[in-house]
Amino acid sequence: MVNELQAGKQVVGSTSDQLKNRPIALTGEMVRRAVGDAFVKLNPRSMARNPVMFVVEVGSALTTALWIQALWGTGEAPAWYIGGVSLWLWFTVLFANFSEALAEGRGKAQADALRRARKDIVAKRLNAPRHGSPFEIVASSALRKGDVFLVEVGEVISADGEVIEGVASVDESAITGESAPVIRESGGDRSAVTGGTRVLSDWLVIRLTAEPGGGFLDRMIKLIEGAKRQKTPNEIALNILLAAFTIIFLVVCATLLPFSIFSVAAAGQGTPITMTVLVALLVCLIPTTIGGLLSAIGIAGMDRMIRHNVIATSGRAIEAAGDVDVLLLDKTGTITLGNRMATEFTPAPGISKERLADGSQLASLADETPEGRSIVVLAKEKYGLRGREIHEISAQFVAFSAQTRMSGVDIQSDGTSAQRIIRKGAADSMRAYVERLGGVYPAAVQQTVQDVGRAGATPLVVVENKEVLGVIHLKDIVKGGIKERFAHLRRMGIKTVMITGDNPLTATAIAAESGVDDFLAEATPEDKLKLIREYQRGGRLVAMTGDGTNDAPALAQADVAVAMNTGTQSAREAANMIDLDSNPTKLLEIVEIGKQLLMTRGTLTTFSIANDVAKYFAIIPAAFATTYPALNALNIMGLATPQSAILSAVIFNALIIVALIPLALKGVKYRPVSAVELLRRHLLIYGVGGLIAPFVGIKLIDLFIHAIGLV
C-alpha cells in the first residue's frame, strides 16, 4: 500500500502538467481590484520606492498645478493642452501602478485560496506525547511550538509538525492541488505534515514544529502576497542604472531651460521652452517603460513559480536559478522512471530459460515492489507462465531484509516434489549464499552479471536450493525526451550531473543513455555535499533537489535547493524552494523561469531606452519650433503641430506601458539557444524594434488626435 502510493507519485510527471494549468485566470474582479489599487498606490510614500515613477508623479503634479494656473488665464500655454499633457502623465503613473497591482492580484487570489484551507480549527492537545493519552480540545491558535496533538480520521491538521507516532494517509490537495493522498508516518523521510491538510485514514500524533502563524502555509501566503518581497540582486543593480539614467535626464531637462533662454536671445525670436514641455520631455526620456513594469516583472516571476507549484522562499532564489551552471539530478525519478523493470532472463549453463522464468516468478509472487511485479509480468508475457496465486501453493514467502539482502519463497514438499527454496538477490550476496550452502557459482553467471551491469541494468541472481538458475535483468527506464532536454541545457551552458547509488558501471551506462554530462556513482549524502562544494569553489552555481533528512546539508549548501513537498521538515527548511508536486524534473522548469525573469527585465530596459530616439525626434523640433524653425527638418514623422507632437509622445509613452503589461506578466518566451543567438534575437526584437515602434506609434497617435480635431 505504501509503496503503491509512492510509486503513484513518482510517475506523476504528467500530472504536473495538468497542475500547471491550474492558474488563477485573470478575472474581471481581479482587474477591478487592480484598478482600485492603482489609485491607492499613488501615495507618494509608496511611489518613492520606485525613483523613476516617483519622478513621473512629481511631474504630473507639477503640470496639474500649471494647468490650474492656466485655467485662471495666466498659463504658459493653453489650458486644454497643459491639461492634456498632465492627464496623460497621470495615466503613465496609474498604468505602472496598475501593472504592479495586477501582478499582485494573481498572487492575492492564490493566497485567498490557501487561506481558506487554514480556517481556525480545533486541535486535540495530548497531555503526554503518545497515542491514547488523554487530550483536551483547544483552538489551534492556542497551540505552541513543542505541543503534541492528535489528529484522527477526517480531521484537519491544525499546524505544521512532525509525526511522532502513527501512519496515515493525508490529503494535501489544499497545498499541492494533487488529489491523490500521501502517506505520513513517524520517523524517516515522510514524517512532516503541513497545517491545513486533512487526515483521510488512521490517526497521527504530531509534535508542533512551528508557532501558529509561522507555519509553512502562513509563510506561503505571505510570500505570494508579496508582503515579504525584497528586491533581488540584479533588480537592485538594474535599479541603480535606471536611477542614473533618471538623474542624467533630469539634468538634461533642467539645463534645457537656460539653454533655451539663451537661444531665444541669440536667435532673436521665439519663446523659451515651457515647463509643460520640459516635464513631458523628461517623462518621455526617463525609462518609464521598464521603471513602471519592473516590480510587476518581479512579482510575475514569483507567480510563475507558484503556477508551476513551486514556492520560492525569496526572489533571490528565482534569480539564482537563472544563473545555475550545474544541476545535480537524482537518477531515480528524474532521469529514469522511478522503477526498474525486468527485461530479460539469462539462465545459468544447463538451466532452461523456462525454469529460470518459473523460479523467478515464484520468488517474486509476493514481492509487491514494482521490480517484483515486473518479474512476474515478464515471466507471464514471455514464457506464458500464469501468475499463480499465493494461496494456490503452500508456500511461505521470505521478505527482503537488510540483513540477508535477498527475498524469495519456500515451497513445502507435497510428496511429488521436493522442498524448493528459491531466493533472488544482488549478485554478491547470492554468491556468498550459494557458496555457504556448498553450491557452485558458475563463472558464466559471474560473466552475465558483469555484462548486465555494464549495460546499465541491475542483475538479480536467482538460486533454487543451492543451484544457480540464472540472472534477471532489471533495467532502468530512461524517461522519454530527457536526452533532448539535457542537450538544451548544455546549449544554455548548464552541466547536468546524475547522482545515483548505483555502481559506477551501471551509472556509466545510464549516463550515456540519458546524455547527462557527468555522474556521481555510489553517492552518499557526504559525497553530494563534497561535490557541491567543489563546484562552488570553481565559481559555479549549483542546483539540486532533495527530500530526505540526509539531503539537508547538501540542500543548505546548494545555491538553488529544491525540496520535495513530500520530504522531511528539515529538508524543506534547508531548501530555498519547495516543489509542491514533488516532481524532481521541475528543476529544469525552475531554471527557465529564472532566466525568463532576467530576460524580461533586460528586454524591456533595452526597449525603453531605444524608445528615446524617436521621442527626441518628436519633441525637440516641437519644443524649439518658435526659436529655430529650421529644426523642423528633424520632424521626420511629419507630426501635425508642436502641441500634437508633444501630446502624442506623452500618450505613446503611457500606452506602451499598458501594451507591455502582458509581456511583463507572462515573461519573454524562453528559448534554449546559445547566449550569442539569444542576444542577437533580443537585440533585434527589443532593440531595433524599440527604435522603430515609437516612430510608428507616435505618428499614429498624432494622426488620430489630429483627426478628431483635438489639435
Partner 1 sequence: MTANGLLQLAFFLGAIILLTKPLGAYMARVYQGERTFMDPVVGWLERLIYRLSGVNPAEEMDWKANAASMLLFNFLGLIVVYALERVQQLLPLNPVGLGAVASDTSFNTAVSFASNTNWQAYGGETTMSYLTQMAGLTVQNFVSAASGMAVLTLFIRGLARHSAETLGNFWVDMTRSVLYILLPLSIVLSLVLVSQGVVQTFSPSVSVPLLEQTTDASGANVTQQVIAVGPAASQIAIKQLGTNGGGFFNVNSAHPFENPTPLTDVLEMLSILLIAAALCYTFGKMVGDTRQGWSVLAAMMIVLLVFTCWAYEAESNGNPKFPSPAVDQTTTSLNPGGNMEGKEVRFGIVNSAAWAVATTAASNGSVNAMHDSFTPMGGLVTLVMMQLGEVIFGGVGSGLYGMLVFVIVAVFVAGLLVGRTPEYLGHKIEAYEMKMASILILIMPLTVLGLTALGVILDAGKAGIANPGPHGFTEVLYAFTSQGNNNGSAFGGIGANTPFYNLTGSIAMLISRYWLVVPTLALAGSVVKKKLVPVSEGTLPTHTPLFVFWLIAVVLIVGALNFLPALALGPIAEHFMMVH
Residues 194 to 253 in contact with partner 1, rule: CB under 8 A: 233-234, 236-238, 240-241, 243-244, 247-249, 251-253
316 near partner 1, judged by CB under 8 A: no
Give whichever of 39 and 259 is closer to partner 1, judged by the CB atom: 259
- Angle at which helix 586-623 crosses helix 642-666, to 10 degrees, equals 180
Q: Extract the C-alpha cell encoding 298.
A: 518581479
Q: Stretches 256-264, 375-383, 545-553, 699-707: which one binds partner 1 (CB under 8 A)? A: 256-264
596 near partner 1, judged by CB under 8 A: yes
Find the binding residues for partner 1 in span 683-702 (CB under 8 A).
Answer: 683, 686-687
- Which residues are CB-neighbours of 518 under 8 A, at least 6 positions away? 495, 496, 497, 498, 511
Give whichever of 454 and 666 is closer to partner 1, judged by the CB atom: 666
255 near partner 1, judged by CB under 8 A: yes
Q: How many residues bind partner 1 (CB under 8 A)?
A: 77
Give whichever of 210 and 561 is closer to partner 1, judged by the CB atom: 561
**How many Cβ atoms are within 10 Å of 618's Cβ, its own excluded?**
32
Rounded to a whole number of angstroms, the minimum distance from the CB of residue 334 to partner 1 is: 21
Please choose, from the candidates 395, 400, 405, 394, the residue with its C-alpha nearest in 3D space to the C-alpha of residue 428.
405
Give whichever of 216 and 617 is closer to partner 1, judged by the CB atom: 617
325 near partner 1, judged by CB under 8 A: yes
Find the binding residues for partner 1 in span 71-130 (CB under 8 A).
Answer: none
Decide if 642 contacts 625 (C-beta within 8 A).
yes
Draw the binding track, 274-303, toward partner 1 (x: CB under 8 A; -: no contact).
Answer: -------x---x------------------
Q: Stretches 48-56, 184-192, 438-446, 613-621: which one binds partner 1 (CB under 8 A)? A: 613-621
487 near partner 1, judged by CB under 8 A: no
Find the binding residues for partner 1 in span 533-562 (CB under 8 A).
Answer: 538-540
Decide if 166 contacts 205 (C-beta within 8 A).
yes
607 near partner 1, judged by CB under 8 A: no
Distance CA 239, CA 231 (A): 9
Give whichever of 200 and 240 is closer to partner 1, judged by the CB atom: 240
Total number of residues shown for the chain: 711
Give whichever of 243 and 659 is closer to partner 1, judged by the CB atom: 243
Pick the binder of partner 1 from 328, 612, 618, 650 (CB under 8 A): 612
Distance of alpha carbon 74 from the chain centroid? 58
Rounded to a whole number of angstroms, the minimum distance from the CB of residue 675 to partner 1 is: 4
**How many Cβ atoms are within 10 Å of 524's Cβ, its own excluded?**
11
670 near partner 1, judged by CB under 8 A: yes
636 near partner 1, judged by CB under 8 A: no
Find the binding residues for partner 1 in span 10-39 (CB under 8 A).
Answer: none
Find the binding residues for partner 1 in span 363-382 (CB under 8 A).
Answer: none
Pick the binder of partner 1 from 65, 132, 259, 271 (CB under 8 A): 259
Distance CA 521, CA 510 (A): 11
Q: Cα dist. 323→76, 282, 620 in Å?
A: 52, 35, 42
Q: Cα dist. 281→144, 253, 654 in Å?
A: 59, 7, 13
393 near partner 1, judged by CB under 8 A: no
- Which residues are CB-neighbours of 286 under 8 A, at least 6 positions away? 52, 55, 56, 245, 246, 249, 250
φ, ψ dihedrals at 337, nearest 5°: -60, 160
- Which residues are CB-neighbours of 653 under 8 A, at least 6 positions away? 88, 92, 283, 284, 288, 289, 611, 615
Rounded to a whole number of angstroms, the minimum distance from the CB of residue 119 to partner 1 is: 41
- Enclosing H/E stretch for 522: none
Pick the binder of partner 1 from 258, 350, 387, 662 (CB under 8 A): 258
Decide if 52 contacts 291 (C-beta within 8 A).
yes
Q: Where are the strands (E) in 5-121, listed by range?
A: none
599 near partner 1, judged by CB under 8 A: yes
Name beta bridge partners: 484: none
Pick the binder of partner 1 from 6, 69, 186, 263 (CB under 8 A): 263
Rounded to a whole number of angstroms, the minimum distance from the CB of residue 594 to partner 1 is: 7
Decide if 409 contacts 362 (C-beta within 8 A).
yes
Decide if 122 contacts 157 (C-beta within 8 A).
no
Rounded to a whole number of angstroms, the minimum distance from the CB of residue 280 to partner 1 is: 13
Rounded to a whole number of angstroms, the minimum distance from the CB of residue 296 to partner 1 is: 16
330 is catalytic: yes
Give whichever of 391 and 537 is closer to partner 1, judged by the CB atom: 537
- Which residues are CB-neighbours of 148 under 8 A, at least 6 positions away? 125, 126, 128, 129, 164, 205, 206, 207, 208
385 near partner 1, judged by CB under 8 A: no
Pick the binder of partner 1 from 569, 570, 603, 653 (CB under 8 A): 603
616 near partner 1, judged by CB under 8 A: yes
Rounded to a whole number of angstroms, the minimum distance from the CB of residue 121 to partner 1 is: 43
Q: Extract the C-alpha cell encoding 527.
A: 559525497
Find the binding residues for partner 1 in span 494-513 (CB under 8 A).
Answer: 494-495
630 near partner 1, judged by CB under 8 A: yes
Q: Where are the strands (E) in 86-141, listed by range?
A: 122-126, 135-139
Decide if 273 contacts 257 (C-beta within 8 A).
yes
493 near partner 1, judged by CB under 8 A: yes
Find the binding residues for partner 1 in span 404-443 (CB under 8 A).
Answer: none
Rounded to a whole number of angstroms, the CA Rg of the chain reads 34
Decide if 292 contacts 605 (C-beta within 8 A).
no
Pick the binder of partner 1 from 65, 139, 679, 710 (CB under 8 A): 679
308 near partner 1, judged by CB under 8 A: no
Pick the binder of partner 1 from 261, 385, 640, 659 (CB under 8 A): 261
Rounded to a whole number of angstroms, the minimum distance from the CB of residue 268 to partner 1 is: 9
Q: Extract the C-alpha cell encoding 702.
A: 498624432
| In the block, residue with C-alpha cell 513543542 | 146
Rounded to a whole number of angstroms, the minimum distance from the CB of residue 488 to partner 1 is: 11
Rounded to a whole number of angstroms, the minimum distance from the CB of residue 631 to partner 1 is: 6
Give whichever of 334 and 596 is closer to partner 1, judged by the CB atom: 596
143 near partner 1, judged by CB under 8 A: no
Distance of alpha carbon 526 from the chain centroid? 26
Give whichever of 45 and 537 is closer to partner 1, judged by the CB atom: 537
Pick the binder of partner 1 from 57, 100, 189, 319 (CB under 8 A): 319
- What are the b/e assignments for 40-53, b being 16+ CB within 10 Å? ebeeeeebeebbbb
Q: Where are the strands (E) in 180-316, listed by range?
A: 182-185, 192-193, 198-199, 203-208, 310-312
Rounded to a whole number of angstroms, the minimum distance from the CB of residue 274 to partner 1 is: 14
Sign of CA dihedral 156, 159, 160, 163: negative
Pick the binder of partner 1 from 675, 696, 700, 710 (CB under 8 A): 675
Which member of 330, 476, 502, 581 is catalytic? 330
**How many Cβ atoms are within 10 Å of 16's Cβ, its own excluded?**
21
CA angle 16, 17, 18 (to 5 degrees): 90
Catalytic residues: 330
